[in-house]
Structure 1
Amino acid sequence: MIFDELVVTINALDNLKKKTDLKNNKALQDNTDAKYRLLLSQTNSYISTIEYVYTNVPYAKNIEILTATLELLDNLEKVIESGAANQEEVSKAENVYKTLCTTIKKEWSKKYSDLTGSTISTLEAIKGIDSENVNACLQKIQTASEWDVGIDRFKNMLQGIASAEQLIQKLGLDDEIILFLQNTNAGKATLLDLNDKVLNWIRSEKLENKIRISFVRK
């Protein structure tokens, strides 16, 4: 009698364990599947972004980044080789994606500076002439100051650079005038900088009342 009850109890516990294991395994698989779907979405956005940047921005293609991207795609295929998303393979793919993002962020930081540094410096120099349009250009350009997925930020940057070039051209600026304006903004311009070309440009743009001269205090 007691033995029979014990057998029934053991069988009940065994069935409970199997049900619990199935439930836990399902929860684990659901979590793995969710991670995989998220990674697929992130990778899709990343590839769309890098394709746009490499196609539209003066940007030398980084072979290491492209190779790592192919490795990521290969890893994503391995995740579902058995039919269901494999937890270990998902983790590997996640690590490849994170490393890839870190690498391209570092590279973009320098590239952004090379692409926009001169334009931003010139815009800062002419802020006192047309602050509204200058600020609009700067705002668009600076949306891409940091790398992130999504092509809109890079579209804005290119639009901002194009608008800035039109503005600079409209104002008839050359390197000599730009240097004068930069020195003026920095409080370093002197009467020695006011040559005929600069003076004629100031008069043509009617900027006489916007530029102040002061003595240097020693």
Structure 2
Amino acid sequence: MIISRIYEINEQMNHLKKKEQERNDIEKLKEYQVKFQSLVNDVNQLIENISYLKNVFDFVVDEKLLEQLFEFVTKLDCMTNLNNLSDTFLTEKIEDYKTIRQAINKIWFSFRSKNILVNIQSTLNIVKKMNPDQVSIYLDHLKLANKVDVKHEELIKFYNAVEESKDFINSLNMKPEVIDFLGKMNNGKARFGDLNDSVNLWIKENGLERKIKLSF
């Protein structure tokens, strides 16, 4: 009788352990699914943003990096059975993605500075007094999108700020020699000899004498 009871208790305990293990497995699977879906969403967002930046700014990612990215996407597509995933395996995939993303962000940051923002920010700072409130908004929005993997709305806001800043600068009707002078000044290459009559007149008309910096 006692032996039978002990056997029964053991059976119940084993059953409870099995149920607990099943619950743990389900929770772990849910955790994997959340991590995996987050990774997929991040990758899709990155690809969408790269495509957008290519369309609006002619931004081009290194071909080898693109190959790595698309190979990574192919591997994600093959990961259909999450039951077979280990935590280590998923963590490795997340780290692989971070490495690719960081490399792309580095290329974008350099491109953004050298090909998009060159002269725009510094010119806006020089002419800020002409429309301080609006120029401040432009300058704030030009600080956005220093990475590719930001929300898509941030990239759109950045693009709009770039275009509106260019339109604002163009609306000042600066002569080519003035634009040339400001470009030199922004790069620390403006000299006294660059201050011709047109440049001097524009500076005086807009009260920007204290903003001018020369290398002599």
TM-score using structure 2 length: 0.78
From the CA coordinates, give the structure whose radius of gyration is larger. 1
Q: Residue 129 of structure 2 corresponds to which residue in structure 1? A: 128
**Contact 2:178/2:199 (<8 A) preserved:** yes
Separation in 2, partners of 1:66, 1:166: 33
Q: Residue 148 of structure 1 corresponds to which residue in structure 2? A: 149
Go from structure 1 to structure 2 and tell me whether the alpha carbon gap of 1:106 and 1:180 turns closer, same or farther (over 3 Å shift): closer
Q: Which runs of 4+ in 1 moved over 4 A?
A: 180-183
1:1-218 alignment, distance < 5 Å? 1-80=1-80, 82=81, 84=83, 86-88=85-87, 89-114=89-114, 115-174=116-175, 176-178=177-179, 179=181, 194-202=195-203, 206-208=205-207, 211=209
**Helix, strand or coil for the counterpart of 2:149?**
coil
Q: CA deviation at 1:175?
A: 6.3
Q: CA deviation at 1:26?
A: 1.2
Separation in 2, partners of 1:50, 1:28: 33
How large is the Cα RMSD of the aligned pairs? 3.1
Q: CA deviation at 1:130?
A: 3.0
Q: Structure 1: which 5+ residue stretches go unaligned?
A: 214-218
**Contact 1:127/1:134 (<8 A) preserved:** yes
**Helix, strand or coil for the counterpart of 2:144?**
helix
Q: CA deviation at 1:113?
A: 0.9
Separation in 2, partners of 1:181, 1:112: 17
- Output the amino acid matched with 1:108: W
- Output the amino acid matched with 2:95: N
Write the deviation string for residues 23-68 of structure 1: whole angstroms up to 9, x where unpaired. Answer: 1111111111121222222222222111111222121232133112
Go from structure 1 to structure 2 and tell me whether the alpha carbon gap of 1:83 and 1:141 turns closer, same or farther (over 3 Å shift): closer
Give the % identical residues.
21
Separation in 1, partners of 2:137, 2:191: 26
**Helix, strand or coil for the counterpart of 1:143?**
coil
- Output the amino acid matched with 2:174: L
**Contact 1:36/1:85 (<8 A) preserved:** no
Separation in 2, partners of 1:127, 1:181: 16
**Contact 2:142/2:161 (<8 A) preserved:** yes
